[in-house]
Amino acid sequence: MSITLIIVEDLEEVRDGLKNFIGLSSDFKILDTYQTAEEALVGIPALKPDIVIMDINLPGISGIDCIRQLKNIIPSSQFIMFTVYENDEKVFEALKAGASGYILKNTGLVQLIQSLKELHEGGSPMSANIARKLVNVFQKNENNLPSIESLTNRENEMLQLLSKGLLYKEISDKMSISINTVKQHIHNIYEKLHVQNRTEAINKALGKN
């Protein structure tokens, strides 16, 4: 079954470029595109897409505020920022609003496709320098995450690795387990902590939720 997708982007050339490229993949089905948050707030709730690609700098209501409103209406949908902004304030504001991924517009289109698939599988795709910013902040706040009682030792170990920005493949290599086993452990962590992505899990461990 195809991953359903909506694009919210005010620049026509960017919006059409994304639609045309992503449309080449049989893994995705683009339900609609919008150029303003106001239009998106009207149309998206009825469509309930798997993923929404959201620009930040929209005319009128910002992409971040749009996500904040939509997340309450369609909590099962995943949101990924696609933007030129890479300053800390925008990144954390977007993640706090409910975004599960943050990709810069200079990211290659092939990598964007991979990020969308990762997001759908429960990951939190980030452009490399964005991920580094997050890691630096977490490490500055607390070098090691505290153990969470509901998690097993193995799961706590994996949460530590997630907090360092490691990818599933890197975690599987480091822990000498398969990627599928990594995904199962991470799924269990998310369920136990009642979170939906890596950022929320780390925030919960740091007592920020």
Neighbour-count burial for 120-137, b at 16+ CB within 10 Å, e otherwise: bebbbbbbeebbebbbee
Residue 51 pairs in a beta bridge with: 5, 78
| 3-state class (DSSP) for residue 104 | strand
Report percent pLDDT > 90 for the chain: 42
**Domains of the chain listed by start with CATH number:** 3-132 (3.40.50.2300), 142-205 (1.10.10.10)
**pLDDT at position 139:** 59
Q: Which pLDDT score, from 0 to 100, does residue 80 have?
A: 95
pLDDT of residue 45: 96
| Tens-digit pLDDT profile for residues 128-173 | 777 777 666 665 655 445 557 778 888 888 888 887 778 888 889 9
Check whether 127 has a pLDDT greater than 90: no
Q: What is the pTM assigned to this prediction? A: 0.68
